[in-house]
Amino acid sequence: MRLFHAATALAATSALALTLTACGNGSGNDASGDQSSAPASSPSATASGGTQAENAGATKETGSSTGGGTGTTTGGSGGGTGAGRCHTAGLGFSFGSGDGKVSSSDDQQQLAVVLKNKTSAACTIQGFPGVDLKSSGGSWSLTRSGATPKKVTLAAGSSTMFTITFLPWNQGSGTEFKATSVVVTPPNETTSTTLAWPGGSVLLQDGATHPGTYTGPVGG
């Protein structure tokens, strides 16, 4: 009887040990399974998310680059070279050698005013300059000709010009305007430059509809 009970107890103990071992192995497999599956899915998700982010970033950068390039090209095309407007401070002013008679019937003369780009960068200029003849007694703002202005691009150091057409005063021809200087304001500028007037007295026609003294456009 004692031998039977001992054998039974030993069998029960062995069965319990086997059960505990099996349970312990099962729990370890479950934990190992959780740890192995999480890293496997995490890198995959991260890589996928990273690819989408990179693709989105590349698309945005391309769009920005294309938009910037198109804008620059359009600006360059519109401005001829993409150059900015010429400013008074960057221009040199002088008289050219183009003065002479335009018409022998009314004795009109022309005086060329040269504008030189003094800066190191190209600039553009378009339109009519403001031209005011000055005398000791007053000022006369000249009217514009009927010519159509064109855009002129001035490279660094290059020049363009406009023409002042004027009707000299002669004894008995009318009111004398004793011009002493001419004030020139480039197109779209508010700053002026004053030059000594070399043309002598001008026939004053400041109230005439079509005066014989007027200014042409830059580059015209």
Q: Look at residue 92 and give its three-state secondary structure.
A: strand
Supply the pLDDT for residue 20.
Answer: 41
Work out the angle at residue 178's Cα, subtended by the Cα atoms of residues 177 and 181, and round it to the nearest 5 degrees.
115
Supply the pLDDT for residue 149.
Answer: 97
Sign of the four-CA dihedral 99, 101, 103, 108 = positive
DSSP letter for each residue of 94-157: EE-S--EEEETTTTEEEEEEEEEE-SSS-EEE-SPPEEEEEETTEEEEPEE-SPPP--EEE-TT
Taking only the tens place, the pLDDT of each residue in 28-84 is 444 333 433 333 333 333 333 343 333 333 333 333 222 222 222 222 333 345 789
Q: Please, where are the H alpha helices in the chain?
A: 2-79
Query: Does the predicted TM-score (pTM) go above 0.75?
Result: no
